[in-house]
Amino acid sequence: MKVFNNLLKLMMAFACSLTLQAANNEPDTQEALAFLSEAESRLEEASHELSHASWLANTFINYDSQTLEALTYQRFLELSVQYATDAARFNDLELGTSDRRKMELLKQFLTIPAPLDSEMSRELAEIFSELQALYGAGEYCRPEGVTGQEVCYSGDRIENLMRESHDADELLEFWTGWREIAKPMKALYERQVEIGNQGAQELGYDNLSVFWRSKYDMDADAFAADADDQWLKVKPFYDALHCHVRAELSDYYGPEVVPPTGPIPAHVMGNQWAQDWTALYDIVKPESSDLGYDLDQLVQEYVSDEKDMVRIAEGFFTSLGFDPLPETFWERSMFVEPVDHLAVCHASAWDLDDKDDLRIKMCIDKSADDFRTIHHELGHNFYQRAYKEQPPLFRGSANDGFHEATGDTISLSVTPKYLVDIGWLDEEPPAEGDIGYLMSIALDKIAFLPWGLMIDKWRWQVFNGEIPPDEYNRGWWDLREQYQGVTAPMQRSEDFFDPGAKFHIPGNTPYMRYFLAYIQQFQFHRELCEVSGYEGPLHRCSIYGSEEAGEKLNAMLEMGMSRPWQDAMEAMTGQRELDASAIIDYFAPLKDWLDQQNQFRQCGW
């Protein structure tokens, strides 16, 4: 009965929408406010239904839970599409600041907006599905063993293998083999861009490039220019890291595999896309890299079970002045992998009712990595609860980078100082091991930044026609070499569609959120450390126990999406702009060390 009622409501919404479109009279303020009220109410209800269906589908995988999630998602998506297109009717109507913001958020809710033409909308949906299916079913197969039996590798298996292997020939084989899955995507992607551009134009944007770049409370071109400006602040440090890593890889593999000058071949970076270099740590680490403690060992010693790890992380937030998590969090979360059914183990934070039904989903291991991850995930939960009093359309992070940045900011405080504060260490270890610690973080955070920027640079240029379809692959590798200093290990013609080998391209997931988050987290961390009264190297700071830092953080979290992100940034840091200088402050000791190592090397590419 509930499903029938929902479908009936959906049909009524479509009928209402068609009536609106057919109306010849110009919309007035009263009509706009009624439209916003209905949209918020309907989308809130549909969102809650989808949240519960998705939770079930993620924590109890079977045919019925997957079917239920698919049906619920389809209804939610159709509703979102219709409200987005209807919102464009009010483009020229004068509204109050808050109502105009809601109207724009409705239009920008979609990633690839569908045109009103039903046939094109249907075609776009089919392309979405086919692209995701091509990626999801992707495998690289090869004969193995004495029998030559064919063995197939999924993307996840290949990614794990490339983290663990240092065999250049094997790495090249798997790097090349995985990219075969993307060849059939190219024509589909080209058609998707055509349809999406028309949908964006119907919403009042020049093309998808402008549509994507207009979601940041500033002129689209100004946003792109600011992203470049922030990258240029960090680039000297990235160049130094690149120079050191290239030299060490050249020594390890030999100059015939990794030349000592120029861009680095992409297949030897320990990651399918060269976006994360942490697998190279043992090759590039400094000689004095002993941290003076073993966090894995401390977790084993001081944590009784998986739920205890979460309670310790909750204690970080309550030490800042936040209220404890509700009892339902402990009753309904998934902390360990189920033994009697399948579940998705990837860590995530959930808010199922926009009130207090907060949960995390993890298959927790008693490890250092998961200890940090729990702090990150609870950062999402406390953010979700902080903005629960906002209207439905304002329940979210100030921009799409703020949520990830908040979780990562908390993780940056998992330092020796924090371990001393909670009684796991008697004293902070000496600074001799700091370079190794900073190197391990830089191979993740700094190595990622140019990738995080260029992947959407490519899409923006594809969307606006700067990179035409017959140059998709060339444009991709030109940008990768320009920003990352990474090159394909072999010739890549336009017969290939190498962008499609990265999930976020066929999955149509914008990537600037990650670039922004990797900058914002250090900006947040620097400010909160200052507010807490900490004096010392930024990478050793923990805000644990500082209610002053908690008040500063909460002032930003409570705003949700109700104001431009610049207002939220100002509430948090006193600045109204991104400022990547915090990254330079954080990694300053490592930069000095890298400059010494690179003194007689030829850097750049």
Catalytic residues: 346-347, 376-377, 380, 404, 504, 514
Q: 297: part of which helix (H) or strand (E)?
A: helix 295-302
Q: 460: part of which helix (H) or strand (E)?
A: helix 434-463
Other residues' Cβ atoms within 10 Å of the Cβ of residue 76:
21
Other residues' Cβ atoms within 10 Å of the Cβ of residue 4:
8
Report DSSP letters for 387-448, one per residue.
Answer: TTTS-GGG-S-SSTTHHHHHHHHHHHT-SHHHHHHTTS-SSPPPGGGHHHHHHHHHHHHHHH
Closest CA to 407 of 349, 358, 448: 349
Report DSSP letters for 252-281, one per residue.
Answer: HH-TTTS-SSSPEEGGGSSSTTSS--GGGH
Closest CA to 159 of 180, 140, 134, 145: 140
Backbone angles phi, psi at 348, to 5 degrees: -155, 155
What span, in angstroms and rounded, lies between the C-alpha atoms of 585 and 537? 9
Quick check: 368 and 296 in contact, CB under 8 A? yes
Quick check: 203 and 85 in contact, CB under 8 A? yes
Torsion over CA of 370, 231, 251 and 265, rounded to 10 degrees? 90
Residue 199, Cα to own-chain centre: how many angstroms?
25
E strands, 188-320, where? 264-265
Q: Which two tokens stand for residue 184?
A: 């059939």
Q: Is 150 helix (H, G, I), strand (E, B) or coil?
A: strand
Q: Which two tokens stand for residue 343?
A: 């579940």
